[in-house]
Amino acid sequence: MGAPMALRLQTCGHDVMAYNRSADKLKPLINQGIHAVATPAEVISACECTLLMLSDVAAIASLLSSPDSQAALKNRTVIQMGTISPDQSRELATSVTNADGSYIEAPVLGSIPQVKDGSLIVMVGSTPEQFTTWQPVLQCLGEPILHIGPVGAGAAVKLAMNQLIGSLTTAFSLSLALVQREDIDVETFMEIVRNSALYAPTFDKKLNRMCDRNFANPNFPTKHLLKDMRLFSQAAIAAGLSPTLADSVAEIIEGAIAQGYADQDYSALYAAVDVEA
């Protein structure tokens, strides 16, 4: 996600500087005129605003917690766009603020195709003043740009959405598998689903992958969905809610990962509920 985001910001007229923990991943950006640097502190010190799109809070902390990065944060803004828990986001906000920097969260719904055409749904947790200041930058990446509330609120909504991704995909996989095991025509089943209140467009998006058992070239890998379901479960417990459903889906995702689908598309959930003999 980070690379196409950088290119999208460049296309919108922004001066973009890039850093990646794997330097070889920067080569395509360098070839398109984006300046790459060797440390996160160089990005933070040189740029008024630093956007983070990283896999988890440990990766984020590893970039922001070094003495050089902490020193560079003064009078700089960090926009955290990955999927983490509300409590993790609030802890990051405290760390950045203690270094005299400014922190907002802006997790997104969508993937690489939506980055490229600027149609991500962006869920912002910030002060109203921060939202007003940085909305023009975020509008390069998506529409709508929604101010959810203070830091933590955007992270909570993002987890709520990703819980739906996991639960809907699991439920559809199980129904599809039963239909196939009973030798019922899949298109007949889908016609009923499409004409019902139960239909979600994601069913058609994942249908061919499931029927073909082709989970390659993922926009969202299975291992990341497992991380998000676990984060949702933790957030649910903290909010006094039952995590049973999220935990059950996480177990099924673990089954897909055990079959070797960690880096494949999350539609591999189907393979976990319909195990081949």
pLDDT string in tens for the chain (277-residue length):
899 999 999 999 999 999 998 989 999 999 999 999 999 999 999 999 999 999 899 999 999 999 999 999 999 999 999 999 999 999 999 999 999 999 999 999 998 899 999 999 999 999 999 999 999 999 999 999 999 999 999 999 999 999 999 999 999 999 999 999 999 999 999 999 999 999 999 999 999 999 999 999 998 999 999 999 999 999 999 999 999 999 999 999 999 999 999 999 999 999 999 998 5
Query: In which domain, by residue range, is 72 found?
Result: 2-149
Give the residue from 149, 169, 186 where a domain finishes.
149
Are residue 64 and residue 162 in the same domain, yes or no?
no
Are residue 132 and residue 175 in the same domain, yes or no?
no
Give the residue from 98, 128, 149 where a domain finishes.
149
- CA angle at residue 174 from 169 to 178, to 5 degrees? 145
Are residue 132 and residue 261 in the same domain, yes or no?
no
The whole-angstrom separation of Cα 133 and Cα 125 is 13
How much is the pLDDT for 276?
80
* CATH code of the domain covering residue 166: 1.10.1040.10
Are residue 239 and residue 107 in the same domain, yes or no?
no
Bond from prior residue into 144 cis (ω within 30 degrees of 0): yes
Residue with tokens 């203690």, as numbered in its chain: 98
Are residue 105 and residue 226 in the same domain, yes or no?
no
How much is the pLDDT for 173?
98
Are residue 67 and residue 161 in the same domain, yes or no?
no
**pTM (2 d.p.):** 0.93
* CATH code of the domain covering residue 36: 3.40.50.720
Comparing C-alpha atoms, which of 136, 145, 120, 111 is closest to residue 225? 111
Give the residue from 126, 149, 172 where a domain finishes.
149
Spatial CB neighbours of 164, under 8 Å, sequence gap ≥ 6: none
Are residue 136 and residue 209 in the same domain, yes or no?
no
How much is the pLDDT for 219?
87
How much is the pLDDT for 244?
98
Are residue 210 and residue 235 in the same domain, yes or no?
yes
Domain tally, the chain: 2
Are residue 66 and residue 195 in the same domain, yes or no?
no
Torsion of the alpha carbons at 201, 256, 86 and 90, rounded to the nearest 10? -130
How much is the pLDDT for 87?
96
Are residue 104 and residue 208 in the same domain, yes or no?
no
Are residue 28 and residue 141 in the same domain, yes or no?
yes
Are residue 74 and residue 202 in the same domain, yes or no?
no
How much is the pLDDT for 127?
98
